[in-house]
Amino acid sequence: MIPVEELLSEIRAYNPKAEESLISEAYAYGLEMHEGQKRHSGEPYFSHPVAVAMILAEQRLDDATIITALLHDTIEDTPASYATVTERFGGEIADLVDGVTKLTNLQLSSTETQQAENFRKLFMAMSKDMRVILVKLADRLHNMRTIKAMRPDKQHQKARETMDIFAPLAGRMGMQWMREELEDLAFKVLNPEARASIIRRFLTLQKASDDVIGRITTDMRHEFSKAGVTAEVLGRAKKPYSIWRKMQEKDIGFSRLSDIYGFRIITDTDADCYAALGAIHQRWRAVPGRFKDYISQPKSNGYRSIHTTVSGRDGKRVEVQIRTHQMHDVAETGVAAHWSYRDGEPSANPFAVDPARWIANLTEQFDAEEDHAEFLEAVKLEMYADKVFCFTPKGEVVKLPRGATPIDFAYAIHTRIGHACVGAKVDGMRVPLWTRVKNGQSVEVITADGQTPQSTWLDIAVTGKARSAIRRALREIDRDRFIKLGRELARAAFDHVGKKATDKALETAAKHLRLTGANEMLARLGSAELTTVQVLGAIYPDMAPDEGDEIGRDLAVIGLEADQSFDRARCCQPLPGERIVGITYRGRGVVVHAIDCDKLSDYDDQPNRWLDLHWHGGKHPAAYEVSLDVTIGNDAGVLGRICTLIGEQKANISDLIFVDRKPDYYRLQVDIELRDAEHLHGVISALEAESDVASIERLRDPSRAAGAQQTVV
């Protein structure tokens, strides 16, 4: 365990004005609270909080963050409470410790819905005080460094969570060194064979090429000396996981991977950065398309540097990053540089972003997402995004993630521009909307009055902002369609009882149903959330049809045009209650498929034929045929009992085919007529309970799709 004096010595080196007595008190208090507790390795538990504090001290962080690290597990795992921590160390530290405790309890690798909600809490905690996540990241780093002591299943869970969440988050915060170490530690657990293979190959390469890093470093220093540039040259090989990821992305073997060496050039001024760049490009040939100037166009997390790739000795590619000392501090520590100290004072690095502004920018688009899956998608898109910089025709810079399209560009300018987009020009040339924009390109958005977002744009857009705006617009468009459909349904229902669906009548019905207005009621009616029986019953309870009346076939599916008929697809045999889509056929109406039908992939390239449909929410007749694949014992009376069970569930057998006969078992295809998905579940449950039924499953056969158009229910 790191002794208190060693920790204080590390802090004293960058902050002579540190409150050493308070830090020592926190050390003693944490030691006392964790007395008798052990880690999985058998070490005293308090060795962990001290190691976390040392990691943060190495980043030159303030006293409050160091003390929080020492106490970060006390509220959760010891008799200490928020009140006692407040009394002894103040409200600021107590709030930080409480924040870390809440983060520790978040199960970020849980189910998608819980994960999305926990991400919301994570960003909420970050928005209150970014230092909470700095402590949590250091906590995770030390846990990963000592992960060997955990059970194998726990190791894998923590490593996966680290790779998916904490490493990208560290990178998004600009803490590149921490991201690389977290990735490599997780990689060691998740794929030890691949990591060991890369290390072996790398050692072999080093022997074959001697000291390539040393030779290139010497060459660079010589060129800078000739150009009169004062610069520090740092060379290194890339981390195993970084090499592995590049091999996977490019789908190439290690032997074909060229740029596995990286060099950092650290200068005193911006002018020296560009002078160093000139010297390098004069000496070595630049690789086209591999130049990025993050000094003139910094990343949103404050990162500044010039990136270039050149062909070095023997044609080997090397990546070069050029930056000043201040830029290097931010590149290494990211937003943590905002709290870093030097000589007892905050270092006030001019390139460190304001954490409050940074987190506000990061979370702006997430607030608009109500759906859990969409929120989670937006978070991960933002966390994993690398940036490209494009220009408007007026020369204004627009930052976008790598892989962005003109649709993303349009929404980045303004939501109204995005909604009205009908085309784009890149560097003066008309391009499709799915074109991937590149660094430095000029993008002009072409708009038209009356244009509305298309559902296909969701497959084109990559930014959370664009996707959120498109989804909201599509929901509004759907709402208008549902209102129109609901109005027609209401008119027909009112006519049926000899009444008129006047605006006043509809408003009165909405009021009785406790809805905000007639349009809200009509939208729900059109989307099958309400029935015409409920609407009529709200103002004419004595005249409304019996709720038990069955839905006729002409009203069974909502979303069709007035003159459109439908058939159920034979391949998937969708039932009321299941999610459905329609595929249009010229002159033959619409064929309705279940949303998960395999045959739908045949129409992926024909989006104009797809219809968004819904089953009516009322009671349907038992007229929808479904095929079951049933295996039963070959004993006297078994088949009769099976047929009786189906009849008891008020389902009619329309056909029965013996598919296979064995001495012990029969395999049957039983076609039964059902009301809805719930009715099917009841039939299957009843048959599964029969001891002579060996297996039963719903039969879905894509080969039967060809006859779907002739299927009539």
Query: Could you list the active site residues?
Result: 76-77
- Dist. CA 264–CA 270, nearest whole Å: 15
The single-letter DSSP state of residue 551 is P
Helices (H) and strands (E) in the chain, counts: 28, 22
Q: Do 403 and 454 touch, CB atoms closer than 8 A?
A: no
- Dist. CA 65–CA 52, nearest whole Å: 10
Residue 401 is encoded by which pair of tokens? 């993630």
Q: Do 160 and 185 touch, CB atoms closer than 8 A?
A: no
- Give residue 521's Cα distance to chain centre: 34
Q: Do 576 and 528 touch, CB atoms closer than 8 A?
A: no
Helix (H) or strand (E) holding 399: strand 397-401
Q: What is the CA radius of gyration of the chain?
A: 33
Q: Kindly write down the DSSP assignment for every residue of 229-294, as one continuous string.
A: --EEEEEEEPPHHHHHHHHHHHT--GGG----EEEEEEESSHHHHHHHHHHHHHHSEEPTT--EET
Sign of CA dihedral 503, 504, 505, 510: positive
Map residue 312 onto helix, strand or coil: coil
Residue 546 is encoded by which pair of tokens? 């019996």
* Best CA proximity match to 303, nearest among 311, 293, 313: 293
Between CA 24 and CA 32, with CA 26 as vertex, the angle to 5 degrees is: 105
Residue 111 identity (one-letter amino acid): T
CB burial class (10 A; 0-12, 13-18, 19+) of residue 287? middle
Map residue 592 onto helix, strand or coil: strand
Q: Kindly write down the DSSP assignment for every residue of 415-434, as one continuous string.
A: HHHHHTEEEEEETTEEE-TT
Residue 424 is encoded by which pair of tokens? 């784009």
The single-letter DSSP state of residue 701 is -
- Dist. CA 270–CA 333, nearest whole Å: 20
The single-letter DSSP state of residue 315 is G
Give the residue carrying structure tokens 């959760």. Answer: 76
Q: Do 558 and 523 touch, CB atoms closer than 8 A?
A: no
Map residue 46 onto helix, strand or coil: coil
Q: Do 584 and 560 touch, CB atoms closer than 8 A?
A: no
For residue 412, the tally of other CB atoms under 10 A from its CB is 21
Helix (H) or strand (E) holding 480: helix 464-496
- Bridge partner residues of 231 (DSSP): 267
Residue 420 is encoded by which pair of tokens? 């009205």
- Residue 118 phi/psi, 5-degree rounding, is -70, -30
The single-letter DSSP state of residue 546 is P
- In residues, how long is the chain? 713
